[in-house]
Amino acid sequence: MTSPLDLLNRFLDRSRRLDFIALLSIRLYLLPTLYVGAHAKLTGFSGVVQWFGTPVAQGGLGLPLPYVMAALATGTEVVGLVCIALGLATRVVAIPLMILMTVAGFSVHWSHGWAAIAGKTTEASLRLDGLMSWLAQSFPGRFNYVTELGDPVILNNGMEFTVTYTILVMILFFYGAGRYVSADHWFARVFPRWPK
């Protein structure tokens, strides 16, 4: 007689045949974020260079060699976007993506704390509440238009999203792009030494 535990283990073992869905989902989840970053850096490259080189006291990042750093960041996001989309050299491209996200986390987001969205007790949230009160009193018809799809929030720009993306890229580094729906899977079948 088969025990419930044996049935559960059999089910769990068979479910591993679909493990590629999780890795594909991570890749698809990362694509919009990578696209927005890559597109913004490509179309506004000179602004990125200026932001990278401007001293921190003046609202920049104060990075050395801002042109080189901006080119590296832009190249990493563009190549990362293409490779993650195709599942091509996924584990390899994950390395510079993790480095880029870690640098961004510490240089841009660290000083804002953890939360990506400002909490109800922060100064930013208090200012938003003041704005919403003014809007409700001064333009009652527009207030409903602004709030009918949900409550407005203020982006805190904390580490939360950056850490989440870094963890997802780290998973791709350790497990690859997944089977069946990645170039890595098919190249590895033809070229056994292909990094997968």
| Sequential DSSP letters for 132-196 | HHHHHHH-HHHHHHHHTTS----B---SHHHHHHHHHHHHHHHH-S-SSSSHHHHHHHHSTTS--
Angle 160-175/20-43 helices, nearest 10 degrees? 130
Looking at residue 105, what DSSP letter applies?
Answer: I
Indicate if the pLDDT at residue 154 is higher than 90. no
Task: State how far the Cα of 172 lies from the Cα of 10, in Å rounded to an integer.
Answer: 26
- Alpha-carbon distance values, 49 to 46, 57, 60, 88 (Å): 5, 16, 10, 29
Q: In which residue are the tokens 């240089």 written?
A: 107
Q: What is the mean pLDDT of the chain?
A: 90
pLDDT on residue 117: 82
Q: Domain segments of the chain: what residues? A: 18-113+160-190, 118-154
pLDDT per residue over 44-92, tens digit each? 999 999 999 999 889 888 999 999 999 999 999 999 999 999 999 999 9
Task: State how far the Cα of 56 lies from the Cα of 151, in Å rounded to an integer.
Answer: 32
Tell which wins on pLDDT, 17 or 135. Answer: 17
Indicate if the pLDDT at residue 31 is higher than 90. yes
Indicate if the pLDDT at residue 170 is higher than 90. yes
Residues whose CB falls within 8 Å of the CB of residue 128, separated by 6 or more in sequence, listed in order: 118, 152, 153, 154
**What average pLDDT does the segment 88-109 reach?**
94
pLDDT on residue 91: 96
Indicate if the pLDDT at residue 35 is higher than 80. yes
